[in-house]
Structure 1
Amino acid sequence: MKEPEPADDAAVTKRARRREQYLSLGLGELAAAAVFGFVASFLVTPRFTDRAATVALWWALTPLIAILVQGGCYWLLAREWVGDSPMPRTTATVYSVLRVVNVALLAAGLAGVLWWWPADNATALLVFAVWFVGVVEYVNYFQKRLSYPMHRWFATVGQWRTPQLVRDLRSARPGHS
């Protein structure tokens, strides 16, 4: 049996590390979606005194939770091709469609928030902030990377790097090398 080349060992180790990182990112995004839903359902909305605040919060939360779930699924799926091959075309097609659908979801979410605008200013600010976090997540996944370790955030966020999801979408295009 042939011994693996040192360069091969390094590639395998790098791939294994990235797979672990992607598992952590994927489960983290799914956990975040669950936490947002749980906190909204059981801790926040029971304290609201008017129905409009509850409805507005769910209009704000729906796109955020959808984007977090999509992100979590992306990271878990990407474990299969990271460092090995391009994103499968079917997956790329799904995420290309979601890229457009998410804009519509965010627009509908904002329309719902504005329609059901809470009377209480603090509640209105909370609802708008939740919707805005959804916008930030969308930008982070589909436009420009905004998520970095805290110790490097200020030094790197201004570089406007391309998100990994977008790089994977590009790698799935025909003729991409």
Structure 2
Amino acid sequence: MTDTDRFEPLRRRFLSLGLGEIAAAVVFAVVPTALPFITSDGAESALWFALSPLLFVLVQGGVYWLIARNSLPGPIPRAVAHLYRGLRILDPIVLVGSAIGIAVTWPGPSVSAFVVVVVWLFAVAEYVNYFHIRLSYPWAVWAGQVGRWSTPRLLRDLRRA
């Protein structure tokens, strides 16, 4: 069996993960902004401050999976690893900046405010999932796996590159 054959299932999985993250970014960019209560609460700006880091991290994740797919069986290219090391530092700055933007444009107590907080916390979770501790698992095994504090694939690739 050649390396190409041996890694084909993993390549398909990485393609699925990459396209899935990019599709999720598109959905998050479109759907929440189309909710009528966001407009009626005047929460559009706060929502965009919450969405921005989420979209940024989701696209980073999607691109990473596509690059990792093409790099198998080795690690991601060294230049890409340098970029992602920089993003690992930049992402928390973006998260803090967006939190400040949310505070400045806070819509007040409302359903929209709840949505804004949930979206921002999801951005934090995605950042942690890619750069610190793996949080994402299939539902069937999530409860048993998440407490194991596994190292995310991206972080392992950064260490190998």
Q: 1:49 aligns with which of 37, 40, 53?
A: 40
Q: Does 1:161 align with 2:150?
A: yes
The size of the alignment, in residue pairs, is 161
Aligned residue in 1 for 2:10: 18
Secondary structure of the residue that 1:48 maps to in structure 2?
helix
Structure 1 unaligned spans of 5+: 1-8, 173-177
Contact in 1 for aligned 2:54/2:122 (Cα 8 Å): yes
Secondary structure of the residue that 2:44 maps to in structure 1?
helix
TM-score (norm 2): 0.94
How many Å apart are 1:114 and its aligned residue? 1.2
Structure 2 unaligned spans of 5+: none
Q: Quick one: which amino acid aligns to residue 101 of structure 2?
A: G
Aligned residue in 2 for 1:175: none
Aligned residue in 2 for 1:97: 86
Secondary structure of the residue that 2:71 maps to in structure 1?
coil
Q: 2:23 aligns with which of 31, 36, 41?
A: 31
Q: Identity rate of aligned residues, in percent?
A: 45
CA spacing shift, 1:112–1:45, aligned 2, 3 Å: farther
Q: 1:81 aligns with which of 71, 74, 91?
A: 71
Secondary structure of the residue that 1:79 maps to in structure 2?
helix
How many Å apart are 1:120 and its aligned residue? 3.5
Task: Give every structure 1 segment of 4 or more consecutive aligned residues whose post-TM-superposition deviation is greater than 3 Å.
Answer: 10-14
How many Å apart are 1:40 and its aligned residue? 2.6
How many Å apart are 1:121 and its aligned residue? 2.4
Aligned residue in 1 for 2:49: 59
